Amino acid sequence: MTIISTSSLDLNTARSRITSQQIGFKNARGSRALAQMIVEGFILIKDIIDNLNAEEQLGIFDEHGLTYVENASTYGQWIKVIFGEPHPDPQQTFTDCNGVEQRIWVPDRSMEVYHHTMEDLAHFGVTANHVDFILDKGGALAMATTRKKRLAQAENSGAEAVALTKRTLFLAETIPSRVTTSLAMPKDAAEFVTVACRVVDGGLELLGVINKDATAQVNRLAADRYEDLLKARDERERMARMKDEAEKRVEERMASLFNGMNKEQRLAYLAELAARAGAKAQTPTSTTSAQG
C-alpha cells in the first residue's frame, strides 16, 4: 500500500492531520495497523518539517505543552505530539503561549521506540509501499529493535577502538615488573588477569587468580595514564628528531667540505682528525679522593 504525501501543508492543515493521526492511534490494532499508523505519522512529520517554519512547529509543540529539544531525534519528538491523548482529568490544564487554556497532553511512551522505524524509513529512502517495507522487515518493532542494535554495535566498536589505542600506548610506554611464577592459570584466562597477592618483605606472594579477564581494569588504568604517557612519548620523539636533524646537518657540512678538497687534502684532513682524537684520549683526567 502506498500512502501519498501532500506536496504542501499549512498550519491549519497540519493541526487537522495531527488530530486525525491522534484519533487513528487510539483506534489502531494489529501489526499491519501499527505499521500503517507509523507510516502515516512518518509522512505527516516529513510534511510538517518540509512545509512549516520553525516558529509554526514550535507553536504546535507549545499547544501540547511539550518542549522541542535540540539535538534529539526529530521523529522521536513529533511522535510525542501525534501519539498520545489528553489527560483524562479535565481539570489538568495549562495555558499555552497564546494564552489559551489547554488540556495537558499525555504522550504514549510506548510509541517512542518507533522513531527508530521512522529513521530507517528515511535512511533507506522509502518513498512507496511503506507498510509492506516495514512488514517485510518483520514489523515495526522488529525494525526499531534492529536499528537500536546496529547503533549500539557501532558505538561499542568506536569505544573498543579508543580503548585499544590507549591500551597499546600504555603497554608500549610502561616498563613492566616481570614475575616468573608456578601459579596455575585458568585454561580460559584472557590476556590480562587479576591475581590476589600478599605483601611480604621484599616482594609479593601470589595466591591465585581471582579474575580471569581483567581487560576492563587494564583499560581504565591505560585511560588514566594516557595523557601523561602520550606527552612523554611525543617529547621523546621530538628530541630524537632534533638529534637526527642535527646529525644530518653535520653530515651535510662534512660532505660539502670534502667535496671541495682533492685527494691529498682529504687524507691530510683525516689524519689531522685522527691526531686530535688520539691526543684527546691521552689527556689525563683529574681525580679527587675523599679522606676520612
Query: Do residues 140 and 31 touch, judged by C-beta distance below 8 A?
Result: yes
pLDDT-derived band of residue 3, with 50, 70 and 90 as boundaries?
Answer: low
DSSP per-residue string spanning 36-74: HHHHHHHHHHHHHHHHS-HHHHHHHHHHTT----TTS-H
pLDDT-derived band of residue 75, with 50, 70 and 90 as boundaries?
Answer: very high
35-56 residue pLDDT tens:
998 999 999 999 999 999 999 9
Location of C-alpha cell 579474575: 211
Q: What is the average pLDDT score of the chain? A: 85
Residue 80 pLDDT > 90, yes or no?
A: yes
207-266 residue pLDDT tens:
899 999 999 899 999 999 899 999 999 998 999 999 889 888 888 887 777 777 787 877
* pLDDT score at 28: 61
Location of C-alpha cell 547503533: 151
What is the rounded distance in angstroms from the CA atom of residue 243 to the CA atom of residue 9?
70
The stretch 149-177 carries a mean pLDDT of 87
Question: What pTM value is reported for the model?
Answer: 0.54
DSSP bridge pairs for 208: 196
Write out the three cell numbers for 254: 662534512
**Nearest CA to 36 among 7, 6, 84, 2?**
2
Using alpha carbons, list the distances in angstroms from residue 287 to 9, 208, 282, 284, 290: 97, 54, 15, 9, 10
**Lowest pLDDT segment from 69-78, 99-108, 159-168, 270-279:** 270-279
